[in-house]
């Protein structure tokens, strides 16, 4: 016997919508980070590149965690 999800299907759709909104927001943040970093790089300012890259990798990890949670809802 397979265990049933603790959320109803309509609840899962709501959760998925919320996660989609958060992930989209994080991707837009990454886009902003990239454009700001490119501007700094072309202007010869290498000081911000490291912290910006760390923040972007952190955003990627957050996104992957949210995706993992989303797939975990199916089990």
Partner 1 sequence: MTPDARGGTEPHWRRDFPIDWPEAQWVARREFVKFLMPVSLAFAVGQLWLVWRGWQRSAAPGPPVARIARVSDAPVGGAMLFEYPVGSPSRLLVRVDGATFVAYEQQCTHLTCPVLPAVERGELVCPCHHGVFELRTGRPIAGPPRRPLARVALDVRDGWVVATGIEARTA
9 binds partner 1 (CB under 8 A): yes
Q: Which of 37, 26, 31, 28 is nearest to 64 (CA)?
A: 26
DSSP state, 75?
Answer: -
Count of positions (residues) in the chain: 75
Q: Are 63 and 23 in contact (CB under 8 A)?
A: yes
**Residues numbered 12-71 forming contacts with partner 1, rule: CB under 8 A:** 12-13, 16-17, 19-20, 23-24, 26-27, 30-31, 33-34, 37-46, 49-50, 52-53, 56-57, 59-60, 63-64, 66-67, 70-71
d(CA 66, CA 68): 5
Site residues (CB under 8 A) for partner 1? 9-10, 12-13, 16-17, 19-20, 23-24, 26-27, 30-31, 33-34, 37-46, 49-50, 52-53, 56-57, 59-60, 63-64, 66-67, 70-71
């Amino acid at each position: 016997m397979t265990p049933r999800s603790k959320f109803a299907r309509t609840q899962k759709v709501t959760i998925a919508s919320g996660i989609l909104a958060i992930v989209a927001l994080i991707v837009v943040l990454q886009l902003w980070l990239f454009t700001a970093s490119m501007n700094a790089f072309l202007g010869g300012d290498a000081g911000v590149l490291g912290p910006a890259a760390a923040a972007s990798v952190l955003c990627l990890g957050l996104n992957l965690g949210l995706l993992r949670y989303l797939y975990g809802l199916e089990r």
